[in-house]
Amino acid sequence: MIEEKDSPSNTTPPKGGRKSTAKEVNARVETVSGWLAQGLTRTEIHRRATEQWSISTRQTEAYCSRAREAAIEAISEPRENLIAQSYAVYQSILADPKASHLIRLRAQQRIDELLGLERPQRHELSGVEMLPPLGVSAVKIIGGIGAQPKIPNGQS
């Protein structure tokens, strides 16, 4: 009979431990959320959770699920709330006496963008179908490529 070796991925802590408090669960979900944000693999998250809290893979998956739900909930917050949060962050940067002039300037620019105070940006699309009608200057430029376009009379 072949015995399986214990590895971090298939070890389960003994059952019968005490139940975690709501405060502990919330702290663990926050920690797991950070690990997910760092891009850790599921295996690495399971290993760390088992080492730190002596919990099973199933419980770790429950924490991962709650962390993902919290992230989705944060994203689905109303736009006005997200703008207010960003505004508060940039205001704190402006109020920080230790912030450099460049950092303060960038914070003010971001506030202006959030509030719609910046000049509208001009976006142009280009491509073969989107080119304007050929004028003399365009003909001269294209003429250098090897094509011999006809130049209208009186223009050079």
More confident residue, 50 or 16: 50
Residue 93 vs residue 133, higher pLDDT: 93
Structural domain includes residue 143: no
Place of tokens 């003010």: 108
**Residue 26: predicted pLDDT:** 94
Range of the structural domain that residue 65 is part of = 22-75
Long-range CB contact pairs, 49-55, < 8 A, 24+: 50/8, 50/11, 50/13, 51/8, 53/20, 53/28, 54/13, 54/17, 55/13
The pTM is what? 0.43
Q: How far is CA 106 from CA 97, 113, 115, 149, in A?
A: 15, 10, 14, 48
DSSP 127: S
Does one domain contain both 85 and 70?
Answer: no
Residue 95 located in a structural domain: yes
Contact 49, 9 (CB under 8 A): no
